[in-house]
Structure 1
């Protein structure tokens, strides 16, 4: 849509943009869009009946959208129903994709009002020596990005970004060297080898911190701590702006655990970089 005003159906539909839903959840979303004018007044049982699903499925659907439960989702539906129709500016698909990313970052900002889970993840990861960081396929660049900066302030950060028969060997080696936790980055589409590695890590006694796009993803269940940031899906390939920002937030939280030692290592790095003329500026 390039012009005009936002309809009731559009407002409801906007809740599901960039969210990967299961087939059951898509049925619920479709029912809400079909009944957009009355959606805010529907109970969870009524939504379940309209969609032909169970009431617990409606609750899981609300959680998948980032709400604490269906009552919180219904409050959002009520707010959207009472809002004054806003004009929709003309835009092309590239602009809409970037606008969606800005919205994802806004949601992440609000999510970070409570840092309890981030700090718990940071405590687990800081205590691990070495620190293995797992990221395969689409997640490999982000694992490398995180590992590059983490290695500046934490000793023995090991990026596991290559799949194949040696992956579990490298995980075993990290555990044998003293690792107590594994940071796993899993982004759609989720490689089966990532799930296998996480299960192997849990069986070996490692705590698993998962950075991913959805709390109900297939790799979330075996993880000890799950951190989520939405992935953009409006272009041919996914945009990972949110997960990248969350990765740096996590690293900041890790640095905050022991600021003195972190500052010392940073100063050592800067001195070495200057001595070796590593950078042109």
Structure 2
């Protein structure tokens, strides 16, 4: 999914709906919202509103402008200006449009669950939405080919995204001949990117999660200037890294707890590993070789 044509502490705020909500309803509502936002140049505040609407897609047609403003953490006039930016006379016109294409009833009351259950339900919805996005496998397949062809393959992840980058790099190293984890920013990261380019790298994979560090945007800008194709896994196609990514793959984070949860980005990373393996003819042989060595060393306790 191209960054030019798609949607978008270390993190806090918000909850999500109940278990009885239909996955198809939530996914189709989110897809309609994303289609509505595409092609519009939105300000950072407007992107924040759009992101909040996608996360609560089934509820949005039933929210007042004040409620939506509270959900997004913006002012009520900002919601009005957002609706106008989308081509509507105001927020009431936008809400009427959404109700015309939305299910007849709002989502189940999240009050039926405690805060911990709500966090789990929110992640389930994020995974369902990811499943609907993956119905079109072409963006992930393209990303897999790009990652497989890059020798070496730099993988960037800073702050909240460091664990996602480390997990991907750990498994990727079992099948890819040269994976280079970039887990520090600044000029050191730029030096390592330059070294990777000199060694023949063609693509950089980035995991970018909120809150988005400025140094991630700067590092990706440097990577593009160095000639690398940037593939990014981010929480939203509206994320700040979109403008410095060639291929952005969105996977929402959960925001119902004090710190964000990233089940969907982690799973998308594993999906990318699978797609990359499809582009590496010797991936299975490398895995089998590792298993033999691990058994000889008694590496794992069975």
Shift of 1:147: 0.3
Do 1:208 and 1:223's aligned partners in 2 also have CA atoms closer than 8 Å? yes
Question: In structure 1, which of residues 227, 232, 243 is the aligned counterpart of residue 265 of structure 2?
Answer: 243
The answer to whether structure 1 residue 109 and structure 2 residue 131 are counterparts is yes
The root-mean-square deviation of aligned C-alpha atoms, in Å, is 3.5
Question: In structure 2, which of residues 98, 101, 114 is the aligned counterpart of residue 78 of structure 1?
Answer: 101
Structure 1 CA distance, aligned partners of 2:100 and 2:170?
Answer: 42
Structure 1 CA distance, aligned partners of 2:279 and 2:106?
Answer: 45
Question: In structure 2, which of residues 142, 156, 162 is the aligned counterpart of residue 120 of structure 1?
Answer: 142
- For residues 33 and 167 of structure 1, do their structure 2 counterparts lie closer, same or farther at Cα, with a shift above 3 Å needed? same
Do 1:27 and 1:51's aligned partners in 2 also have CA atoms closer than 8 Å? no
The answer to whether structure 1 residue 160 and structure 2 residue 182 are counterparts is yes
The aligned counterpart of 2:64 is: 34
Aligned residues: 244
- For residues 31 and 253 of structure 1, do their structure 2 counterparts lie closer, same or farther at Cα, with a shift above 3 Å needed? closer
Deviations 1:70-114 (A, max 9, x none): 89x95676333x138856673210100100000100110111000
- For residues 53 and 102 of structure 1, do their structure 2 counterparts lie closer, same or farther at Cα, with a shift above 3 Å needed? closer
Structure 1 CA distance, aligned partners of 2:99 and 2:248?
Answer: 24
Matches of residues 227-266 of structure 1 in structure 2 within 5 Å? 227-258=249-280, 260-266=281-287
- For residues 87 and 216 of structure 1, do their structure 2 counterparts lie closer, same or farther at Cα, with a shift above 3 Å needed? closer
The aligned counterpart of 1:130 is: 152
From the CA coordinates, give the structure whose radius of gyration is larger.
Answer: 1
Instruction: Provide TM-score, normalisation by structure 2.
Output: 0.71
Structure 2 CA distance, aligned partners of 1:50 and 1:274?
Answer: 60
The aligned counterpart of 1:43 is: none
Structure 2 CA distance, aligned partners of 1:177 and 1:124?
Answer: 16
The answer to whether structure 1 residue 272 and structure 2 residue 302 are counterparts is no
The aligned counterpart of 1:51 is: 80
Shift of 1:122: 1.0
Q: Using CA pairs below 8 Å that are at least 6 residues apart, which structure has the higher relative contact order?
A: 2
Structure 2 CA distance, aligned partners of 1:253 and 1:100?
Answer: 26
Do 2:45 and 2:78's aligned partners in 1 also have CA atoms closer than 8 Å? no
Do 1:133 and 1:157's aligned partners in 2 also have CA atoms closer than 8 Å? yes
